[in-house]
């Protein structure tokens, strides 16, 4: 598999199965229910974990941006004293807090034994959109310097984009959320 743009610290690969016989005694769940088993067995939890990863990456990007903005001086004062930078930092902090709460809500529900399909999809959707925006803003605070490997924001920026495709894109998460909402709504009226 070609090298990824980001997340170079973890291995990725492709497995292909073609006409592999599976004995009935080796099935997990009922025949034809593989997607349901995958969703409930690992996909929901993995989406919640990705949301947590998004929060961690975004938090680190924020910390780096604050540090850089406090040290970078233009026209006689640190850029952290400029209102435009302060607004970005405030927005970044708020978005990260929302992502953290969504991820923790999914984790708490899972720990309590609840199904978290809706909560995990919401956490991942917000997480991937949030980490993209936060790392964009952090890179803007760094300016051109942030594009160089001399600053860790460059790697965080790349790594954040990889999360958009793990366990389903934003569009997939929206589809899952809508399906869960409409399914719950239909079940409530039955």
* Catalytic sites, residue numbers: 167
Q: Is 86 helix (H, G, I), strand (E, B) or coil?
A: helix
Write the CA distances from 21 to 11, 17, 26, 82, integer angstroms: 28, 10, 10, 64
Q: Using an 8 Å Cβ cutoff, are 51 and 106 in contact?
A: yes
Q: CA-based angle 88:93:95, to the nearest 5?
A: 95
Structure tokens at 113: 């034994």
Which of 69, 62, 68, 67 has its CA nearest to residue 85? 69
C-alpha span between 2 and 93 (Å, rounded): 35
Q: Using an 8 Å Cβ cutoff, are 73 and 118 in contact?
A: no
Q: Using an 8 Å Cβ cutoff, are 102 and 177 in contact?
A: no
Which of 174, 182, 181, 176 has its CA nearest to residue 129? 174
């Amino acid at each position: 598999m070609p090298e990824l743009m980001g997340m170079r610290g973890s291995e990725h690969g492709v497995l292909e199965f073609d006409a592999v016989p599976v004995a009935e005694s080796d099935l997990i769940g009922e025949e034809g229910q593989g997607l349901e088993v995958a969703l409930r067995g690992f996909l929901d939890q993995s989406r919640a974990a990705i949301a947590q990863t998004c929060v961690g990456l975004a938090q680190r990007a924020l910390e780096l941006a604050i540090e850089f903005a406090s040290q970078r001086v233009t026209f006689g004062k640190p850029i952290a004293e400029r209102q435009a930078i302060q607004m970005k930092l405030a927005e970044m902090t708020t978005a990260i807090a929302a992502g953290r709460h969504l991820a923790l809500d999914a984790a708490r529900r899972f720990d309590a034994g609840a199904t978290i399909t809706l909560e995990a999809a919401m956490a991942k959707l917000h997480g991937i959109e949030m980490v993209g925006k936060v790392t964009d803003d952090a890179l803007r605070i760094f300016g051109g310097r942030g594009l160089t490997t001399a600053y860790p924001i460059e790697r965080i920026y790349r790594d954040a984009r990889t999360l958009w495709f793990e366990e389903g894109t934003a569009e997939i998460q929206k589809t899952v959320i809508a399906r869960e909402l409409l399914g719950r709504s239909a079940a409530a009226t039955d």
